[in-house]
Chain A
Amino acid sequence: MTLFSQIVQYTISGITSGSIYAVIGICWSLVYLITKVLNFTTGEFVMLGGMLTWGFRGTGLGLVPSVLFAITCTILISMIFERIAIRPVRFPSEMTYMMITIAAASVIKGVVLLGWGSETRTIPDFFGTEVIHVFGATMTSQILCVLGLLVIVTLGLSLFLNRTLFGKALRASAINVTGASLMGIDISRFRFFCFGLAGGLGAITGIVITPITFTGYEVGMLTGLKGLVAAIVGGWTMTGTMVAALILGLLEGFGAGFISAGLKDVFALLVMILFLIVRTLDLTLGKGRVTR
């Protein structure tokens, strides 16, 4: 392969993983902005989507029904999780919420490990396995599915948030929870809804990438964390998250290609730590001292 086609190849893989991180990052911010819960189970829902689809296919169902079942199950699990573990907390603090979601993530992981073992699983590509050649680089139709997913999710969400009354109320409660509930918005219902939506989006993402990257009980945590990196760097907004996620994906694609494939997971986490540190510098050097 020439250098040029290598670069094209890394760009393609970078954009693919970048779009995945973008959708996952949107899942994190949906939950974080409404409930102030940093939901560490987000990554596990991505994993659950893929694993459940694989599981339903194993029982003899076709691809489409098993995908639908998997998404429904993940949404239900996410909503049940909110009901039985997040809502009854008596002294809600950041630390309590974070410990509960980390604990729930390890519970989901452990159940999947016990049920289906530690082998990696996969499902077939949605539209066959024809290879498309672009400037000497290769890509499959599944990659187009991933890009399509990102476009559909962002367009759908922005239409929903900007055009419907429910979406506007959701945005209002993201800006100011107390104010929104004083205006008669039922926050408790929104929390429930956001967990469900984030679970569903996570599951869809997990299903779409499974043919490319495969899935297993332990993929959730790292994939989810990279989504979190995108959300933090993007400042919890949708556009920011998308831009950050695509940059992150490209960085990872080129880092894996030119530096080391084994260390590719390290890059994203380093970006997050450096960004967080730089952000504090910026705040203290800027106008006055901003505590947050």
Chain B
Amino acid sequence: MSGTSREKFLWLILITVIVVLPFVTGSYVVGVMSFVAIFGGLALGMGLLLEQAGMFSLAHPTWFGLGGYVSGILAVRGIAPPWLGTIFSAVFVGIISYVIGAPLLRLKGYYLACATFGLLLIVEITMGQLGTLTGGNEGLMGIPPFSIGALVLETDVHYYYLSWVLCLGCLWLLYNLMDSRMGRAIKSFSDSEVAAKSMGINVPWYKLKVFILTAVMASMIGSVYTFYLRFMEPSVLGFPLLVELVTMIIIGGGKTLYGPLLGAFVVMWLRELIHLSLGGFLPRMSAQVDALFFGVIIIVILIFMPGGLSGWTDRLLYLGRRTFGKAGE
């Protein structure tokens, strides 16, 4: 990527910290950080759709879950090994998102949100009803671990590295994407669709492309999640995950590309903190109860800090530069 030397330095620091982390901390931290990578990668794609491209699509957990389900079922039935299943499910989700996205992306604003929200619930209910194929509401069990040939990923640390490779790969991809012709097209139609059209940008085609791209990303992350937990259930691709992803994007701030990842980091550790401190007198800690806390956070941040954490740091940097008189880059 054609970044400045400061950006390269930040990437280097990030990668070093992530590589070194499992050697200096215990399995607890590694486990939580794996989930940061998985859900952070998912939130990156959704943040791109929502905040950069201005497409209000809520169906992201669906692509995540479909990817996980397809590769999981293929592996349980012994039809395809996990690595091939992951690729196959990515292709499958790509095709499905094309077929669904082509008519759906003609909608805008509230109506797009309603339609994709309906899609989310439809897939969740259908997955619970297809008992013989997906294991129904009890969930899909007996999924083998991820393996390529003789190399079998068994421990948490393996999955930690796999999910971080995938997550940082997504982040790198998004940075390059937004630097390209397509990225500039996305920025232009999120500002004003009419202006973008009048400049000769094929808006529906770019919308469909970015929709499919993020869906495929979500599907691959979903496959890794499935092989990590070796379990998949319909409630994973439902409403609680949607609230969680929206919380990550809002806490992190979607106006920057790295914001959702930052948000995922905060949300995951916040959840651990809540579980540790309140687990004693709130015995029923489920995804729905987490959604309660996240709901409060969303409302508070949207009212008092609309830019999220990354918007806030950007403002601090700007104020710092202005105060200390350093010229901008």
Contact = CB atoms under 8 A, between A and B. Distances in A.
Interface stretch (A55-63, A111-119, A133-141, A207-215): A111-119
Contacts of A151: none
Interface residues of A, number: 48
A185 interface: no
A102 B292 CA distance: 11
B324 to A, nearest CB: 29
Nearest to B50: A95
Interface string B88-123: 000000000000000110111111011101110110
B121 A277 contact: no
Interface stretch (A121-129, A166-174, A266-274): A266-274
Interface of A: 38, 85, 88-91, 94-96, 98-100, 102-107, 109-111, 113-114, 117-118, 217-218, 221-222, 225, 228-229, 232, 260, 262-263, 265-266, 269-270, 272-273, 276-277, 280, 284, 291-292
B110 A94 contact: yes
B284 A114 contact: yes
A233 to B, nearest CB: 11
Given A106-B243, A110-B292, A269-B122, A98 B110 contact: yes
Contacts of B119: 269, 273
A96 B302 contact: yes
A109 B125 contact: no
B125 A263 contact: yes
Contacts of A272: 114-115, 118
Going nearest first, the 9 A-B pairs with the smallest beta carbon separation are A110-B292, A107-B295, A103-B298, A269-B118, A103-B295, A106-B291, A106-B295, A280-B106, A262-B129
B289 A100 contact: no
Query: How would you classify the secondary structure of chain B's contact residues: helix, strand, loop or mixed?
Result: helix
Contact of A260 (B50, B56, B129): B129
Contact of B294 (A91, A103, A218, A229): A103
B199 interface: no
Given A107-B292, A107-B295, A263-B126, 8 more contacts: A85-B299, A94-B110, A100-B298, A103-B299, A105-B295, A109-B292, A113-B292, A273-B104
Contacts of B240: 106
A66 B113 CA distance: 37
Nearest to B240: A106
Contacts of A273: 104, 115, 118-119, 122
